[in-house]
Structure 1
Amino acid sequence: MKKNLLMWDETLFRDPEVLEIDYLPEQFEFRDSQIREMAFQIRPGLRGGRPLNTVCKGLPGTGKTTSIKKVFQEIEETTKKLVPVYINCQIDNTKFAIISQIYRKLVGHLPPSSGTSFKQVFDAVARILIKEEIVLLVALDDANYLLYENEINKVLYTLLRSHETYEGTRIGVIVIISDMDVDLSRAVDARVASVFRPTEIYFPPYADAEVREIMKARVMQGLFTGVLSESLLDLVVGQTLKSGDLRVGIDLLKRATLSAERAARRSIEREDICGAYEISKYLHLNYTVKTLKDEERQILRFLAERSINDHEMNAGDVYKAVRESVSIGYTRFYEIVKKMDAMRLVNLQYREGKGRTRIITLRYDPIKVLEYLS
């Protein structure tokens, strides 16, 4: 056997956790000003008051979630009187689901899944907050999903006006938005706007040099010395910048390392990176498809199948074909298509002709969409 072959019990990973996209790094660079501003907004909660409301806005993979989690980690290490609750709105995107996660944070388990009303759960949460003199800080990550489901006003109204029904409750909200087309000031109604009044913290895309520093730090912590050369690190950085999402680069590193291990090599080669990118570049598609409801998955499947032969699709014609197999009204169908446009799964454009024609195009290779739907 050749001496340079990787043995079955050897690995190229120094610490595989470092190359997970939800890993929380000890040293978190290039977001100091955003974290300082967030800390200022939260500070009243540390003194027993209501935290100031905040909107964190930026493209996917710009450090919003990590910044929130770092701040929440520090809060939990400092005090028990300010309780931070992180909620992923891709998964929990209804008023009941969100209050159930808050209940879980305070009690240690979810409320009964059946026979329990929203009011009963919220009553229980409010009693705990008042009795224990706890200030609540709720982070709604990817809150744009609440907009797609028309839940944003219900959720914010319930949380921010809770003190009117339950005197003594103090709740602050951090709303995290990854859809740059969303204008939250227009999306919320007057009842919510009057108590929300958030400060917006912008998370700009990482600069080229910043991406390189972040990826280099992950390589040094996650892989053994010599596994990835400087020239191939440049390739990883280039692919990360091409995708516009830091998470794609991290996933790419993990997959490329696994590819090298599978081939029993002691270092990553160019082919490992290029092959891994062909999977990692669909990271957004993979995660987004998982959040769709059955009805939405049916519509997306239909669009993907039709896109194989028809790149541009007339929305009216698509609906006529869809309703033959899916029981759905046009209003609901169009709401789903608009949601998919907002989620960057399709492009929805208007074309002047006989009236304004709505044209739907798929943003991804339809074969890949069908693959992830399966």
Structure 2
Amino acid sequence: MCGHQAPQTGYPMVKLYDAVCEKLVESGKVLIVALDDMRAIDGKAAGEVIYTLLKAVEEYIVKIGVIVASSERIRFDYSVSSIFQPAEIHFPLYKFEEMRFILAERMRRGFIEGVFSGEAFERAVEYAFKLSDLRFGIKLLKRAGLEAAMRGARKVEVEDVEKACDGGRSAYLVESLSVLSPKERFVLRVIYSADDIISTGEVFESVRGKMGYTSYFSILEKLEKLRFIDLVFARKGRGNTRLIYRKYGRKEMLKALEKVGD
């Protein structure tokens, strides 16, 4: 923006802030700040940055927008949330071949050629795709490599991937559930508490006291996109209904939901 990078140290943040705002006033341009992977940034520091940027309009005649990318729901204190009220955009999940391509590239960079067996790699891709999380797949490759090293092997085999996955799956599920809202977890709990396959109408009867029809179906669609459930159309009498199929074991899901709480 100013033709050079800001110095790493020894330059007051206030001066940097003023220089950016003055440049915006001079150019008449709009500044869009993108904060990627917010959960890796200290929450308090991120809140201070967002607050400062969005308050700039009160001191300078500037327009600044903030885009936040995160895999979990972010909560700021009142001073930040009162001015930062973003619209949520849910990104489409990676397709199988897209995820396979990215993981293959990570494997190529992280392991000596031939160390990771083809069958073991394909199994890792399957687990990552099932859980709809690329980062889980990347971590799984690393864990599988460590498992192979611990048993003194020179090659990563399927057994290493299986063992690495068993250790990380439950932790991943808890992490995935923690990003859902209390209402979304409530609907999921009702679905997984049922003894058998349940219809969307039957679940709604159990949750209608806490949400409306439109909100309920938005939640169902989100849970399906995140691959916690599958929705399948079926005939019921003279009409149609949708059945809800669970993607995880009942005990596994309910135990994870209990750990997350409300």
Common fold, TM-score beyond 0.5?
A: yes
Question: What is the distance in 1 between the residues matched to 2:162 and 2:245?
Answer: 27
Cα pair 1:103 1:125 within 8 Å, conserved: no
Match of 2:86?
A: 155
Question: What is the distance in 1 between the residues matched to 2:101 and 2:226?
Answer: 29
* Residues 1:296 and 2:184 are matched in the alignment: yes
Code of the aligned partner of 1:85: A
Code of the aligned partner of 1:86: L
> CA RMSD of the aligned region, Å?
4.6
Shift in Å at residue 104 of structure 1? 2.0
Select the structure with the greater relative contact order (CA < 8 A; seq sep ≥ 6). 1
Shift in Å at residue 290 of structure 1? 1.0
Question: What is the distance in 1 between the residues matched to 2:110 and 2:64?
Answer: 33
After superposition, residues 1-374 of structure 1 pair within 5 angstroms as 48=27, 50=29, 84-86=33-35, 104-105=48-49, 124-127=55-58, 130=60, 136=64, 138-141=66-69, 155=86, 177-179=90-92, 205-206=97-98, 211-219=103-111, 230-242=114-126, 243-244=128-129, 246-259=134-147, 263=150, 265=152, 270=157, 271-280=159-168, 285-306=173-194, 309-310=195-196, 312-320=197-205, 322-323=206-207, 327-331=209-213, 332-354=215-237, 355-373=239-257, 374=259
Q: 1:255 to 1:144 in 2, by over 3 A?
A: closer
Identify which range, 242-251 or 287-296, moves more after superposition: 242-251
Shift in Å at residue 125 of structure 1? 4.1
Q: 1:313 to 1:48 in 2, by over 3 A?
A: farther
Code of the aligned partner of 1:296: E
- Counterpart secondary structure, 2:111: helix
- Counterpart secondary structure, 1:250: helix
Identity rate, percent: 20
Code of the aligned partner of 1:359: L
Shift in Å at residue 356 of structure 1? 2.5
With the length of structure 1 as denominator, give the TM-score of the two structures: 0.44
Cα pair 1:85 1:139 within 8 Å, conserved: yes
Code of the aligned partner of 1:292: L
Shift in Å at residue 350 of structure 1? 2.9
Q: Deviations over 1:348-367 (max 9, x none)?
A: 23323332323212122223
Q: Deviations over 1:54-90 (max 9, x none)?
A: xxxxxxxxxxxxxxxxxxxxxxxxxxxx562316689
- Counterpart secondary structure, 1:155: coil
Shift in Å at residue 318 of structure 1? 2.7
Shift in Å at residue 336 of structure 1? 2.9
Question: What is the distance in 2 between the residues matched to 1:246 and 1:208?
Answer: 9
With the length of structure 2 as denominator, give the TM-score of the two structures: 0.59
Q: Deviations over 1:140-171 (max 9, x none)?
A: 4369989xxxxxxx736xxxxxxxxxxxxxxx
Cα pair 1:314 1:359 within 8 Å, conserved: yes
Cα pair 2:106 2:138 within 8 Å, conserved: no
Q: Deviations over 1:119-142 (max 9, x none)?
A: xx95x24225x26x6x64533436
Code of the aligned partner of 2:201: G
Question: What is the distance in 2 between the residues matched to 1:50 and 1:144?
Answer: 31
Shift in Å at residue 281 of structure 1? 5.9
Shift in Å at residue 176 of structure 1? 6.8
Q: Which ranges of structure 1 fall in alignment gaps of 5 or more residues?
A: 1-44, 52-81, 92-99, 109-120, 147-153, 157-174, 181-201, 221-228
Q: 1:101 to 1:138 in 2, by over 3 A?
A: farther
